[in-house]
Every structure is written in C-alpha cells, then in structure tokens.
Amino acid sequence: MGLFILRRSAVMLLTALCLTFIVFVLTNLYPNLEKLAKTQGNFRMSDEAVASWLAGNGYAQPTPVKYGQWLGVLPGWTLETEEGIKGRCITGFATAEQAAEAPQFCGILQGDWGYSTRFKKDVGSIIETRLGNTGFLMMWVLILMVPSALIIGILAGMREGSVLDRSLSTVSIATTATPEYVSGVIFIAIFTSSTVGLKWFKGTATSAMENPTFENFFLPVLTIALYGMGYIARMTRASMTEVMTAQYIRTARLKGVSFPNIVIKHALRNALIAPFTVILLQIPWLLNGVVIVESLFNYKGFGWALVEAAGNNDIELLLAISVVSVVVVLLTQLISDIGYVFLNPRIRIS
C-alpha cells in the first residue's frame, strides 16, 4: 500500500510538472508576451520598445530558464540599470547592498507565487481569497448534489425497469443533457426576471461573497449541482441494479427479509463503492461548471479569476491557477484510488 501511494505520488508530481510546463510555454509564446508588454506599457509601442521592455523585465530569457526561476530551482534574474538593480526577487529598484541581501531563489517552492499584472496584487493572496469563495460554493454544491444523486440512483436502481426507475432515469438523462450555461440562463429567466415576474431569487451572486443567503446563493449552487447530479445518479443506479441481482440479495429475499431491509442493510453498502469513485472524479469536472457559473452569476471566485487571468494573459496568475486545478484533479484521483482499495474488501484483503 505504501509503495502504491508513493508511486502514484511520483506520477502525480511528474504530471503536475509537465502540465505547468505546457502552460508556461503557451503563456510565454512571443505574441502573448508582446500583448503583455503592450498592455503593461502602452499600446503604440514599436517592436524595439517591446523587445527592450521584455528584456528589462526578465521575459527575454530562454523558456526553460524562466520556468526554473518560476519553480524556484534556478536563481532569479537580476539586471543592473541606472536607477539601481531590479530583479525577480526584488520589488522595485534596489541598491547593490539591498540586492545582495535579497533572496536568490524565489519561486513557488519558496512560497512566492509571483505578482499578478491584472490585479496588481500578490498572486498568493488573490488565490487565497478566490479559492475561499469557490470552496464555499463547492461545499454547498456537494452538499446538495451528492445526497440527492445517491437517493435518485438508489431509488431507481432498486427495482430495475419499474415505473420509478424509468421516470427517475429520464430525469437524470435530462439533467446530464443540460449544461450549466443553459440551465443557468433558464433559471435566471424564470426565477429572477421581471418579465416572468416570479422574482424568487437574485440574478447575481455578487452579494453572496460577503453575505450568502438562500436568495442570492441558491441558483448558482443548483445550476452546478444539477449538471453533475445526473451522471452520479446514473452510475449509482447501474451499480445498484448490479448489486440487486447478486446471489446474496436473492438469499436474503428467500429468507424472508423485508424489501426495505434488503436495500438498506444488504445492498446499499456494496452499491456505494462505485459511486464513491465517480463522485471524487466528478470534482475536477465541477471546476468547469464553476467557471461558467461564476461568470454567469458574477460570483468572483476561482473560475472568475481564471477568465480574467486568461483574458489578460496574466502569466503568473494563470500558472498559479493551473497549479491549483491540476493539484485538485490529481489529488482527487489519488484519493479515489486509495479509497477504492479501502472500501472494497476483495481488493483490500488480497
């Protein structure tokens, strides 16, 4: 088991390195840097001005070197100018003594996430607040989505082919066919607009960042939860129908155990192993929904930061975001693998 976790972690680390390198290369392509230079300097810069701006801010180095500096395994760049020494690890300009005192390495290994050119703030603090907002949203999504998906799946799967099964399966197919930007738009239209006149909820979740209430927070949560729910429900249903045809269920029925008891005591525990992995693997998938819903409801979280960073080629923020999301994806994969082994006695004992 220890070896398994160790090997998975090594693969995870390798994947994270590869992915961040890909993002790094893509964001550091010359046209992107040119755009960055023009947004930071001015839009009418000549080609030479762009080149000198890039050289003066450390962007003109070879990509692997820049990647090493960002990671914190190579010493940060420094440059002597007339106003003093500037460098990756130095804010503003410094004298020679100050520069000598400044740390040599400053990358994410040292906990320095860099500086966001879009928000003019430390990337670390941006990620912290935005991730907090999104974490809160995700928590409620999971609280709403998981129990309802499991209940739908179990009710549908306990009597395969029954009326209940067919109606609930149709409902779950319908929810998987409705992406967030469709259901979100329909919800906003029905429940918040003045044309329909229901006005039960608010169309934006901006105020939910300070003061989340049912009125301003329920629609975004529902929108994300609904799309993920159908898939988990269908997986639960499949696993439940499989368990319900097993020999031990038949034995229990022939012994005269009542149907509710069979479902709750005999079937449920075995039927929930597969949905466990599905739910965990669904979490990175929710990230997509988060980006859509946050821009639809104007909730300034992680997804909103992604859209802003990508729209403005904010390299360091974009890299931090990809690190976080890649870590989330890989961690959930790891947990689902380990959890599967723990939950399934057949694998655990052999």
Scan for tokens 């319900």, then name that residue: 244
| Contact present, 4 and 348 (Cβ < 8 Å) | no
Listed in sequence order, the residues at least 6 apart from 94 whose beta carbon sits closer than 8 Å to its beta carbon are 84, 85, 86, 87, 102
Alpha helices by DSSP H, listed for the chain, are 2-27, 30-40, 47-56, 63-71, 96-101, 123-158, 163-176, 180-192, 214-244, 247-255, 259-261, 268-271, 273-297, 302-311, 315-343, 345-349
Query: Which region holds residue 88: left if phi is over 0, alpha if psi is between -120 and 50, else beta?
Result: alpha
Which of these segments, 51-59, 81-89, 217-225, 315-323, binds other proteins (CB under 8 A)?
315-323
DSSP 74: S
Size of the site for other proteins (CB under 8 A): 56
For position 186 contacting other proteins by CB under 8 A, the verdict is yes
CA separation for the pair 230, 153 (Å, rounded): 9
DSSP 211: S
Tell the smallest beta-carbon distance from residue 81 to other proteins (Å): 28
For position 38 contacting other proteins by CB under 8 A, the verdict is no
Q: Which of residues 145-174 bind other proteins (CB under 8 A)?
A: 162-164, 167, 173-174
Six-digit token pair at 120?
């003019």
For position 305 contacting other proteins by CB under 8 A, the verdict is no
SS3 of 95, please?
coil
Tell the smallest beta-carbon distance from residue 87 to other proteins (Å): 27
Binding mask 238-257 for other proteins (x = CB under 8 A): --------------------
Tell the smallest beta-carbon distance from residue 262 to other proteins (Å): 15
For position 98 contacting other proteins by CB under 8 A, the verdict is no
For position 277 contacting other proteins by CB under 8 A, the verdict is no
DSSP 108: G
Q: Which of residues 197-216 bind other proteins (CB under 8 A)?
A: 203
Which of these segments, 60-68, 103-111, 311-319, 341-349, binds other proteins (CB under 8 A)?
311-319
For position 30 contacting other proteins by CB under 8 A, the verdict is yes
Residues linked to residue 85 through DSSP beta bridges, in sequence order: 80, 94
Report the residue from 296, 315, 317, 320 that binds other proteins according to the rule CB under 8 A.
296
For position 37 contacting other proteins by CB under 8 A, the verdict is no
Q: Interface residues with other proteins (CB under 8 A)?
A: 11, 15, 18-19, 23, 26-27, 29-32, 34-35, 162-164, 167, 173-174, 176-179, 181-182, 185-186, 188-189, 192-196, 203, 284, 287-288, 291-292, 295-296, 303, 306-307, 310-311, 313, 318, 321-322, 325-326, 329-330, 333
